[in-house]
Homo-oligomer: A and B are copies of this chain.
C-alpha cells in the first residue's frame, strides 16, 4: 500500500520515541526532530510504502545520536517477558479444540509488541490475557488450514522481538506436522524488529534466515539477492505484522498476512477497525 498523509505525523512520533530510547540528551532528541522536520518535504508518499517512507526516520536517529540499536534493551526485556508466557501459551494450545487456530491467534496477538506504532509502554502479559476477548477476524482461516496442509515448506516473515516467542506455538505445530519452516529475520537492528540473535534468544529452533535487510517491513528492493530469489520461489508465506502487510500487499506472492491493525490508514486500506487482529489472504494468493 502507498504511504498516506497520516504517515508524516506518525514518523515524527516514531522519531521522538526512538530518539528518547537512544539518548537522554534533550538537545540531541531535539536535533532529531529538527532533522525529521526538514526531511518532510523530501518524502514522496505516492512513490513509497509506509515502511519505505519511514527509512530516513531511523537513519536520522542513528546519525544524530550515534546509537545503532535504540531498542536493544527493550527487545531483551520483551523476549524475557514473552518467554515467561510460553508455557501458558502451550497449555492454551493443548486445551484448544482447534490447536492450529489457537496458535494463529497467539501469533497475531504477539503483534501487539510493536514499538513503531505505540506510544506507551507495553504490558506483554496483559496483552496476552486480552487475547481471548480480542476482536479476531480469521474469516480466511479455513483456506489457510486447507492450503497449509498441502505445503511442505513455509517462509515465515518475522516481525518484532518478543513477538518471536508468540510465533513459536504456530511454527512448532507446523514443524511437528513435517513442514520445513524458514524463519526470516532482519540482517541488522531496525526499530524492535527481530534479528537472528533475537530469534535465537526467543528459542526459535527452526531454520533462521536473513532477509538481508535493515529496514522495517519486507521491502524487496532492500533485501539481499539471495532472499529475493528465495521469496520468489516460496509457495506459502506467512507475513507477520502491519509493516509486512504495508510493504507486501501489492506484491504478487502467496502470502497470508497475520497482524493487528494499528492506525487509521491501515484501517481504511483493510476495512477493519483499529485494534482488529487479522488473518488476511493476499489478493494475489491463487
Write the residues of chain A forming the contact surface with B, with a CB cutoff of 8 angstroms: 5-6, 8-9, 12-13, 15-16, 20, 26, 29-30, 33-34, 36-41, 45, 119, 264
Contact = CB atoms under 8 A, between A and B. Distances in A.
Given A5-B16, A8-B12, A8-B16, A34 B41 contact: yes
26 contacts: A5-B16, A5-B20, A5-B26, A5-B33, A6-B16, A8-B12, A8-B16, A8-B33, A8-B37, A9-B9, A9-B12, A9-B15, A12-B12, A13-B13, A33-B40, A34-B41, A36-B37, A36-B40, A37-B37, A37-B38, A37-B39, A37-B40, A37-B41, A38-B40, A38-B41, A119-B264
Contacts of A20: 5
A13 B119 CA distance: 14
- Highest count of chain B CB atoms <10 Å: which of A36, A37, A39: A37
Q: How many identical chains are in the complex?
A: 2
Contact of A9 (B13, B26, B38, B45): B13
A250 to B, nearest CB: 20
Contacts of A5: 16, 20, 26, 29-30, 33
A13 B37 CA distance: 13
Contacts of A33: 5, 8-9, 40
A6 B33 CA distance: 10
Contacts of A8: 12, 16, 33, 37
Nearest to A14: B9
Given A8-B12, A8-B37, A38-B38, 12 more contacts: A5-B16, A5-B20, A5-B26, A5-B30, A5-B33, A6-B16, A8-B16, A30-B45, A37-B38, A37-B40, A37-B41, A38-B40
Nearest to A19: B5
A143 to B, nearest CB: 33
A5 B17 CA distance: 10
